[in-house]
Amino acid sequence: MDWYLDRHDQLGELRREIGRYLARHALPEREAVEDAELVVSEAVGNALRHTAGPVWVSLSWAEEHPALTVYDVGGSLPRPLPPGTAPAPPTDADDLGGLADLAESGRGMGIIGLLAHDVVSRLRRESGTVVSMRLAVSRKPTHSVDPPRRDGGLLPALDEAGPDGGFGRESFLRALVVEMSRAVEHHHGPDAAEATVAQVGIDVGGQMEAEFRLAEQVVGRLSPQDLGRCYVRLKHAIDGGFSVLEATDERVVLVNTRCPFGETVRQAPALCRMTSSVFGGIAARNHDVGASVLLEERIAVGDPGCRVVVYLGQAPADVSPFAHHYGTPDGPAVV
């Protein structure tokens, strides 16, 4: 990362930007980040005050501690004090209200010597000075993962490649969803895969409901018939084959002949939870006591089609153990 500064009033934003960058990649040690921000202020502030030209700041972080380098094009910067040496104590004449005065008296470089590592100041061959150092912030270690490639049933299928080579966006995104679901299930189990898919379904379902309301100009609660139309609309948009068999005050029943994920859904049955959470979340937001969804039949587990029952409220007692239940955290969806 590199910055070009030619005015002192740019220093505050530079300090904040570097601080945010360090915090994103550092171990959770806020005090160390704040010390590093102070070092940045001192190093760059010195360069701006003691030179007549612009300052170039470079920060790289390929090792444990980030490397900060400050280049100026002229002037003479004070040299840093030896590591571990404290700056001279302030006198009554010192102005303790700003860092700039510390820099002018040389104590700014003393602060750098205390709070940074490997501080080096040298003259450039042409003109000016280069000050380099290591900031005392530690980078978070990376968890390295190198899984073996699975050979069976991978997506996208080779016959989905386009005439010019490569896979289209639709096939790639479908493959991404399916393979991510499979990977979560492989590493963390089917419950974790279903929980992940359910969260995605709840979030995306809210947007799908908002789009339906906008397109259909629906205001207030969605009726059972509205729910059926909403479900069919959103599933058809992603190439599903859903239709409504029944829409009453108690429940909405849908059947499906074609999964949007195709036959590959059999490799990732946790994706059925997407349908459940999308349908259930929309129904719950439009019903005072939530909703329940029973995935009675599923293509993903070998059934010839899907049969989904959305109960508007609690499912019957004999059905409840086998259904997914959705509350109303946001209250009824009244627009």
Residues 198 and 321 in one domain: yes
Q: Which domain holds residue 230?
A: 191-326
What's the number of domains the chain is made of? 2
Q: How far apart are CA 314 and CA 293, in angstroms?
A: 9
Q: Are 196 and 131 contained in the same domain?
A: no
pLDDT per residue as tens digits for the range 235-258: 998 888 999 999 999 999 999 999
Instruction: Give residue 91's pLDDT.
Output: 39
Encoded amino acid at 204, one letter: V
Q: Domain end: 117, 135, 153, which one?
A: 135
- Angstrom distances, CA of residue 334 to CA of 22, 85, 320: 44, 66, 27
Q: Is 17 among the domain residues?
A: yes
Q: What is the chain's mean pLDDT, rounded? A: 82
**Residues 103, 45 contacting (CB under 8 angstroms):** yes
pLDDT top residue among 148 and 118:
118
The answer to whether position 173 is within a domain reads no
pLDDT(84) > 80 = no
- The number of C-alpha atoms within 13 Å of 26 and in the hemisphere containing its C-beta is 21
Domain CATH code at residue 281: 3.90.1520.10
Q: What is the CATH number of the domain that holds 20?
A: 3.30.565.10
Is pLDDT at 161 greater than 80 in this prediction?
A: no
Q: Which residue has the higher pLDDT, 297 or 82?
A: 297
pLDDT score of 94: 35
| Whether 110 and 199 share a structural domain | no
pTM metric for this prediction = 0.59
Q: Is residue 61 assigned to a domain?
A: yes
pLDDT of residue 92: 38
Higher pLDDT, 262 or 22: 22
Tell me the pairing of strands 251-256 and 291-297.
unpaired
Residue-level pLDDT at 96? 34
pLDDT confidence band for 69 (50 / 70 / 90): very high
- Whether 176 is covered by a domain: the verdict is no
Task: Tell me which of 65-79, 105-119, 161-175, 239-253 is least confident.
Answer: 161-175
CA distance 288 to 248: 16
pLDDT the model gives residue 74: 61
249 domain-assigned: yes
Strands 242-247, 116-123: pairing kind: unpaired
Band of the pLDDT at 329, cuts 50, 70, 90? Answer: low
**Residue whose entry in the numeric block shows the structure tokens 């005015």:** 7
Q: What is residue 5's DSSP assignment?
A: E
Residue 331's pLDDT band (boundaries 50, 70, 90)?
very low
How much is the average pLDDT of 213-226? 93
Structure confidence by residue, pLDDT tens digits, 34-51: 999 999 999 998 888 877
Burial of 74 (0-12, 13-18, 19+ CB in 10 A): middle
